[in-house]
């Protein structure tokens, strides 16, 4: 088994791997063909092209069962869909559908192709809500997954 990454290195690799899993399903004929932009945390232009997916990490917690330098962590990540639509009923449905579809794509690769990732599980879903951004009506929904992983030090 390869050496474990540091906590910071593991988080960065997980973040990148999740984007790569999503990126493989972009484009015509793929699961996420309508998505125009994938954003990591605050690495975005002020107004990403929509439909968009925005990945937000949440606080990682140590499970406390490991000691020394090898630790096991769980880090939730929100996969937020952003949809612009002038029709509320359509906007809500589209935002929910896109977040749910992105969740399905991420869960299809339970290790994110990283040897230190133990599992990726679904932990929640926040249905669509309406927001106003730059005179646009934007709908967003969030699928929340948790990544369980090992790190060193």
What pTM did the predictor assign? 0.91
Question: How many Cβ atoms sit within 10 Å of the Cβ of residue 142?
Answer: 22
75 is a domain residue: yes
pLDDT tens digit at each of 153 positions of the chain: 688 999 999 999 999 999 999 999 999 999 999 999 998 886 556 667 899 999 989 999 998 877 678 899 999 999 999 999 989 899 999 999 999 999 999 999 999 999 999 999 999 999 988 877 666 789 999 999 999 999 997
Maximum Cα interatomic distance, the chain, rounded to a whole number of Å: 55
Would 2 be classed as within a structural domain? no
**Distance from chain centroid for Cα 113:** 15
Q: What is the CATH number of the domain that holds 38?
A: 3.30.70.1700
Tokens 């997916």 belong to 53
Minimal CA–CA distance to 77: which of 92, 64, 94, 60? 60
Tens digit of each residue's pLDDT (9 = 90 or more) over 103-140: 999 999 999 999 999 999 999 999 988 877 666 789 99
Per-residue pLDDT at 153: 74
The residues facing 5 across adjacent strands are none
Residue ranges making up the domain that contains 79: 7-152
Distances (CA, A) of 87 to 11, 93, 126: 38, 10, 20
Tally of domains in the chain: 1
CA distance linking residue 20 with residue 75, whole number of Å: 18
The pLDDT score that the predictor gives to residue 133 is 67
**16 domain residue, yes or no:** yes
Residue 134, classed as helix, strand or coil, is: coil
Parallel, antiparallel or unpaired: strands 52-57 and 37-40: parallel
């Amino acid at each position: 088994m390869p050496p474990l990454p540091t906590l910071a290195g593991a988080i960065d690799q997980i973040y990148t791997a999740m984007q790569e899993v999503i990126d493989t399903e972009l484009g015509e004929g793929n699961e996420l063909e309508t998505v125009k932009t994938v954003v990591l945390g605050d690495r975005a232009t002020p107004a990403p092209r929509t439909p968009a997916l925005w990945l937000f990490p949440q606080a990682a917690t140590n499970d406390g069962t490991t000691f020394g330098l090898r630790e096991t962590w769980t880090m939730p990540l929100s996969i937020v869909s952003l949809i612009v639509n002038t029709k509320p009923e359509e906007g809500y449905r589209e935002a929910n559908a896109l977040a749910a579809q992105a969740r399905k794509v991420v869960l299809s690769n339970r290790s994110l192709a990283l040897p230190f990732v133990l599992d990726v599980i679904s932990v929640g879903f926040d249905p669509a809500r309406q927001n106003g951004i730059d005179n646009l009506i934007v709908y967003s929904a969030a699928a929340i997954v948790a990544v369980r992983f090992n790190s060193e030090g």
